[in-house]
Amino acid sequence: MKEIRGRLLGLDFGSRRIGMAVSDPLGVTAQPLPAIQRQGEKKDIEAVASVAGEHEVEGVVVGLPLLLDGGEGTQAVLARRFGEKLRERLGLPVVTWDERFTTAQAERHLIDSGMRREKRKKVRDSLSAVFLLQSALDARNRK
């Protein structure tokens, strides 16, 4: 992670949506972006590539949904493969980052803030992306 400097795009890769967040140009803080509704791998990659270009990112952090024991299940394999295809398409560094509990953390945060269930569904994935990207940024900046 420390080899990637500048603005990063964080992705919470889900089966229905891809939550997104972007860092500031210095790579200190993460802000949410609207989630992408999944439409198939090719369209998803093009949608992410469009956002990456629009925000002039220097790299991408893809959330890796590891199992509780740290192993990789089906979703982790799919997220890793998506990251590899994204790297080929963008020509930018793409790293995976442990995203265990980010969705639960986002859901808890939204419930605590009093947000209604219908609205939580719309923002949860992007907030998860914020949490995973911020975690990666914090780890990178500590080094």
Residue 1 is assigned to a structural domain of this protein? no
The separation between CA 75 and the C-alpha centre of its own chain, rounded to angstroms, equals 14
Determine the Cα–Cα distance for residues 3 and 77; give it in Å rounded to an integer. Answer: 24
**Pairing relationship of beta strands 94-98 and 59-64 according to DSSP bridges:** parallel
The CATH code of the domain that includes 91 is: 3.30.420.140
Range of the domain at 115: 8-142
DSSP class of 44? H
The predicted pLDDT at position 118 comes to: 67
39 against 2, higher pLDDT? 39
**Pairing relationship of beta strands 30-37 and 17-23 according to DSSP bridges:** antiparallel
Residue 95 is assigned to a structural domain of this protein? yes
Residue 125 is assigned to a structural domain of this protein? yes
> How many separate domains does the chain show?
1
- Give 100-115 pLDDT, tens digit per residue: 666 666 556 656 666 6
Residue 96 is assigned to a structural domain of this protein? yes
- Give 33-64 pLDDT, tens digit per residue: 999 999 999 999 999 999 999 999 999 999 99
pTM, full prediction: 0.84
Q: How high does pLDDT run on average in the chain?
A: 85
Percent of the chain whose predicted confidence (pLDDT) is above 70: 79
The predicted pLDDT at position 92 comes to: 95
The H or E element spanning position 66 is: none
Going by C-alpha positions, the residue among 21, 13, 72, 22 that lies closest to residue 45 is 13
Residue 114 is assigned to a structural domain of this protein? yes
The H or E element spanning position 120 is: helix 117-142
Residue 3 is assigned to a structural domain of this protein? no
Other CB atoms within 10 Å distance of the CB of residue 115: 16
